Amino acid sequence: MAVKKAVFAGGCFWCMVKPFETQPGIFSVVSGYTGGHVPNPTYEQVTTGTTGHTEAVEIAYDPDIISYEQLVEIYWQQTDPTDALGQFADRGDSYRPVIYYGNEEEREIAEKSKQKLQDSGRFDKPIVTKIEPKSDFYPAEEYHQDYYRKNKVHYQLYREGSGRGGFLRKHWGDKKS
């Protein structure tokens, strides 16, 4: 069995775990930081906006059960791909939406998927999510891992209060909230 890893940034990583973790073929979803220039950053460092990192999730998956293309499709349905300056209530570079690719095939899949979404007319603004090469991924502190399970009430309040839940329902329907 082959294990592959995909990395996506879509705003607060708390809200990016559950949609992937609940899919068949997913071994783990780890919240963390990537894309920056500071090794082993802390949450406090990343939120200053000076490390270059984004909050992201690293997904370990079985490509025989779920494809990278399917993961990218799930990703779009968790973010506002028209907002390059953050996601929902979270603003700044550390919350920007990015698909991180590990090879040319993943880059092509992400680019084609982005163009398909743009052409679909689902959004009335341009799709601005970046597609960038993977870099070192650093797991976040333990209290950030599996946040939606450990802190169910706060997670749900945050997801709705940030505007994410309503936005996803508006653009993707009730099944995505």
15 is catalytic: no
**Could you tell me which residues are beta bridge partners of residue 60?**
5, 28
Question: Is the dihedral angle over the CA atoms 119, 127, 148, 60 positive or is it negative?
Answer: positive
Residue type, 133: P
Best CA proximity match to 29, nearest among 148, 173, 133: 148
Going by DSSP bridges, is the β-strand pair 4-9/86-87 parallel, antiparallel, or unpaired? Answer: unpaired
Angle between helices 68-76 and 104-120 (to 10 degrees): 40
Kindly name the residue from 7, 9, 12, 15 that is annotated as catalytic: 12
**Could you tell me which residues are beta bridge partners of residue 90?**
87
The token pair that represents 171 in the structure block: 């653009």
Catalytically annotated residues = 12
